[in-house]
Amino acid sequence: MTKLHDLYEHQGQSPWLDNLRRDYLRGGRLAELVDEGIRGVTSNPTIFAKAIEGGTDYDEQFDQLLKDHTVEEAYWELVVTDITDALRVLRPVHDASGGVDGYVSLEVAPSLAHDTDGTIKAARHFHELVDEPNLYVKIPATIEGVPAIRAMFAEGRSINITLLFSLERYDDVIEAYLAGLEDFVAAGATDLSRVSSVASFFVSRVDTEVDRRLDTLAAQATSAQATEILARRGTAAVAQARRAYALFVERFSGPRWEALVAKGAKVQRPLWASTSTKNPAYPDLAYVDTLIGPDTVNTMPDDTVAAFLDHGTVARTVDADPDAAQRALEAIGSAGVDMDDVGRTLEDEGVASFAKSFDELIQSLSDKANALSAGS
């Protein structure tokens, strides 16, 4: 038993790995991490860009694919191969947990972030192509993404909602889940137990953006005011995530939810993403130890997983003091930081970052294809 096992067994939180690489699949590292207590895997365009560009593990398959695929088609074949292999590794976890865990996430193309119809088609395509019960297709929680999310639940598909940065948008995502399940029932579904979802709330990036704004405000303030403003650095992300958990508890209760539970519905679990510490002045587990609680997921990169195994604290913290979390957000607002604007900014940056990683990777693969063609 490791601390990762304790996290799930004693606190009801599922630790997932925020990384996927072919050498982890072929060399057995992912299987080792599952043995150590990892219960799921997330991926995104940036993760795949680092994996594919970071070595030669994909070269042989890429070379073969180029015979009858475009570069971008070859990319998706590389991705689906890794996803399929990871699904196989995690399937025993999925079966043993009754469909609660063991998921692997595959994200739709970043170019679809503001395309509702395109997102619906892509998500449907991936579910039909891979056709495994432990696949999550990731859809960003943009304004255009929310109706696509609802549409997928109405078809009984399992979705990981990504790039969540604000409480307002999180409430929209919860509503999309509830309404989508109700649509599924209205279409004739009698068993909702095969539909699963997580809502991925990005954490550390919130502190990065809020701290930047607080620094700017402090630079324009008097010495006494600056001291008070700077004291709020590093408090926004956890406070907002704790408020998100309170919203989760509130929305997944009452007659509306109980009617869905009667048909087998599972809660849409909050997933804490971006939990590696970006500011070296903050503790390395600042976004892990503080957000532990039942019916949640924390997806961690390798270094954060190793840190938690070494010195993490297994204790319920996510709802330790919800009033204090609200006061922290109010104090940040009083200092002059608009958290709604922070959410919009981070959403735009998140979409742009994934698009940049995707475009750079396709260009890199195109260069490699040209080199292979010239060599042959």
Cite the active site residues: 138
Structure tokens belonging to residue 60 = 């042989």
d(CA 174, CA 56): 41
Contacts of 301 (CB under 8 A, 6+ apart): 17, 18, 19, 275, 276
d(CA 30, CA 92): 13
Contacts of 257 (CB under 8 A, 6+ apart): 178, 251, 265
Backbone angles phi, psi at 204, to 5 degrees: -60, -35
d(CA 341, CA 219): 20
- State the DSSP H helix or E strand holding residue 290, giving kind and residue range, or none if neither: none
Look at the alpha carbons of 98, 297, 90, 31 in this order and tell me if their dihedral is positive or negative.
negative
Backbone angles phi, psi at 121, to 5 degrees: -65, -45
